[in-house]
Amino acid sequence: MPATSITPDLVVGEDGLARPLWASRDELLMQYYDTEWGMPVTDERGVFERLCLEIFQSGLSWRLILQRRPLLREAFAGFDVDAVAGFGDDDFERLMSDPGVIRNRLKISSVMRNARATVALRESEPLNELVWGAKPMTTPRPASAADVPSSSDESRQLTKSLKARGFSFVGPTNLFALMEAIGIVDTHLVGSHRRGTSGVWPAD
């Protein structure tokens, strides 16, 4: 059956599954929404990669980042933290001349700096544990796109914590997006087939 809207922000696709508008019209975004977005990522490399992708996404479309992700992984050594932490000036120039990379000097330098900060964190609280420590007591329960917050008290506190530990290009908005992406909060719309499927938060 053709896709039908059940609310202005929620669409039932031909497969009978309800998704938000942003994930209902593009195959790449739909696949990401159905299989990845909001599912728990708890290892250091995985959290580091997602943080890097959120940095690269700033000011750009998420679809572009998903499309470029294989190229970004190749350029940044699979987002291996130790490898990126060891990048030097030659690597920076290589990245700045790579057409597959988001060639923004501040973003690339921030990824390199954040890798070094991630290595340093291992002596106290690893990045993945620090980020997951921002998990709130409750999660949003949005009925519409307008109900989805863009930041939270926890993402603001996480911003302060990461900046104090040497991270750059992090803020309450992109860190909240990270928290959404890796399952720390569940902002799937009520009625979506993905609501409550992460195992982190109970279904409503």
Active-site residue, 22 included: no
Q: Is 37 a catalytic residue?
A: no
Say if residue 161 is exposed, middle or buried (CB neighbours under 10 Å; 0-12, 13-18, 19+).
Answer: middle
Amino acid symbol at 148: V
Mean pLDDT score of the chain: 96
Q: Are 155 and 131 in contact (CB under 8 A)?
A: no
Catalytic one of 37, 49, 54, 132: 54
Q: Considering 32, 37, 132, 201, which one is annotated as catalytic?
A: 32
pLDDT tens digit sequence for 119-142 = 999 999 999 999 999 999 999 999
Strands 4-7 and 18-20 turn out to be unpaired
CB atoms within 10 A of CB 198: 19
Angstrom distance (rounded) from CA 23 to CA 66:
13
Over pLDDT 70: what percentage of the chain? 98
| pLDDT grade for 8, boundaries at 50, 70 and 90 | confident
pLDDT in tens, 36-74: 999 999 999 999 999 999 999 999 999 999 999 999 999
Token pair for 41? 């990522």
Asked about 62 being catalytic, the answer comes back as: yes
Q: What is the pLDDT of residue 195?
A: 96
pLDDT at 1 over 50: no
Instruction: Give the model confidence (pLDDT) of 75-102 as tens digits.
Output: 999 999 999 999 999 999 999 999 999 9
Q: Is the pLDDT of residue 5 over 80?
A: no
Query: Which pLDDT value is given to residue 176?
Result: 98
Could you report the per-residue pLDDT of 169-187, keeping only the tens digit for each? Answer: 999 999 999 999 999 999 9
Provide the whole-model pTM: 0.95
Residue 203 has pLDDT above 90, yes or no: no
Q: Is the pLDDT of residue 4 over 90?
A: no
In this model, does residue 2 exceed pLDDT 60? Answer: no
Q: Is 192 helix (H, G, I), strand (E, B) or coil?
A: coil
